[in-house]
Amino acid sequence: MSLFSSPSPKFFWITLIVFSLSYYLLIAESTTLHTTSPPPPKPCKKNPYEQLNLILNDNGTVTRGPMPPESPPAPDPSLPTKVLSNDLTINKSKGTWARIYLPRETLYQNSKLPLLVYFHGGGFIYLNPATTIFHEFCFNMANDVVAVVASIEYRLAPEHRLPAAYEDAVEVLHWMKTNQEEDDWLRYYADFSNVFLMGSSAGGNIAYNAGLRVTSAGGGCDLGIPKIQGLILIQPFFSGAQITGSELRLADDPHLSLCNNYAKWDLSLPVGADRDHEYCNPTAGDGPKKIEMIGRLGLRVLVTGCDGDPLVDRQMELTRVMEMKGVKAVGHFTAGGYHGVQVQDPFKAKQFYEVVKSFISTLPASY
């Protein structure tokens, strides 16, 4: 019998079935989001609230432990600094405010600069624009990108659960548009027709959801806010009821463990909501339909991340869905790193500034 004789029909069908099953399993394994029940994550080794330096109070608030160091603004132009900064009150009753950053060289120019409205991270539950890591990040970004940066303080959870932060984000946009005459830096140096909403981690989530609110109002015309050209989402903080491959792979990550991830959402979402709520999972429910509004209005979106971040699969999936829905989305993902690296690591931050500068420069400036 020849070595290359035709196989029997029975052998052929067995081979075909085995190949088909192998192919199916390969595709299933490569899918970002696990659609079948994945192995349960390991139980939390410690109380996640203790790890977050929080004490839960019976009245629904938290007692926050010592926070990272803070830095003051530097508004005096006589100081030897490349970037000036100044604090402005937005809504005294809510405790919201903004720290404005202005490159010194702008004082001697007649042209206006893009306005980057930045929302800080902190899991929705702590930190503020004066926190040194965010102050230095915005200081250097204003200098390297050559832009006016407005770093925003919003109400924090759980005292003010979502959508409070989103409401504050839209309010600050309205405030800057209607009160620019009261602040010379905004009045003379910020181009209100060239505005980008930006945020890191939870701030990226806020920038995204604030962008949705702007688009649902027809681009902001009905809200009396500046012209938003795009969104810049820095390792945005999203989650969902189904665990992803990167979340499972990095469940014990020291920068954002799965236990801490879930604890932050428990404190931030509306009471009774699960992680497939629209604030948490942008691809669940009506999320894809809302993404279409971003595409129709022509907003451009930059999403950045790294494969050392447990949330990277969600960030890449959001980018993919936006592209499918006609959004001019750009994903910039790098190897290594960790959640928050683009803000905390000066070298990674400098690389990020170049990406931002390239992203916003694709639009012709309008002065």
Q: Are strands 54-56 and 62-64 parallel, antiparallel or unpaired?
A: antiparallel
Angle at 57 between CA 55 and CA 61, to 5 degrees: 95
Among 302, 350, 356, 304, smallest CA distance to 136 is for: 350
CB atoms within 10 A of CB 44: 17
Active site residue 6: no
The residues near 233 (Cβ < 8 Å, ≥ 6 apart) are: 198, 199, 204, 207, 208, 301, 302, 303, 304, 315
Query: Has 309 been annotated as catalytic?
Result: yes
In terms of Cα–Cα distance, which of 318, 324, 317 is closest to 295? 324
**Which listed residue (85, 151, 200, 201) is catalytic?**
201
339 is catalytic: yes
3-state secondary structure (DSSP) of residue 76: coil
Catalytic residue among 144, 191, 309, 313: 309
The CA-atom distances, in angstroms, between 172 and each of 155, 168, 347 are 12, 6, 31
Side chain identity, residue 354: E
CB-based contact 365:194 (threshold 8 Å): yes
Provide the whole-model pTM: 0.88
Per-residue pLDDT of the chain (367 residues; tens, 9 = 90+): 333 344 454 443 444 343 344 333 333 333 344 444 556 566 677 789 998 999 999 999 999 999 999 999 999 999 999 999 999 999 999 999 999 999 999 998 888 999 999 999 999 999 999 999 999 999 999 999 999 999 999 999 999 999 999 999 999 999 998 888 888 999 999 999 999 999 999 999 999 999 999 888 765 555 678 889 999 999 999 999 999 999 999 999 999 999 999 999 999 999 999 999 999 999 999 999 999 999 988 999 999 999 999 999 999 999 999 999 999 999 999 999 999 999 999 999 999 999 999 999 876 444 3
Exposure string of 9-36, with b = 16+ CB inside 10 Å and e = fewer, is eeeeeeeeeeeeeeeeeeeeeeeeebee
Find the catalytic residue in 120, 135, 332, 339.
339
Residue at token pair 């969104």:
231
How many CB atoms are located within 10 Å of the residue 353 CB?
A: 20
Cβ neighbours around 118 below 10 Å, total: 27
Rounded Cα gap, residues 234 and 342, in angstroms: 8
- Inter-residue contact 234 to 343 (CB < 8 Å): yes
B/e letters for 55-77, b = 16+ CB within 10 Å, e = fewer, are eeeeeeebeeeeeeeebebbeee
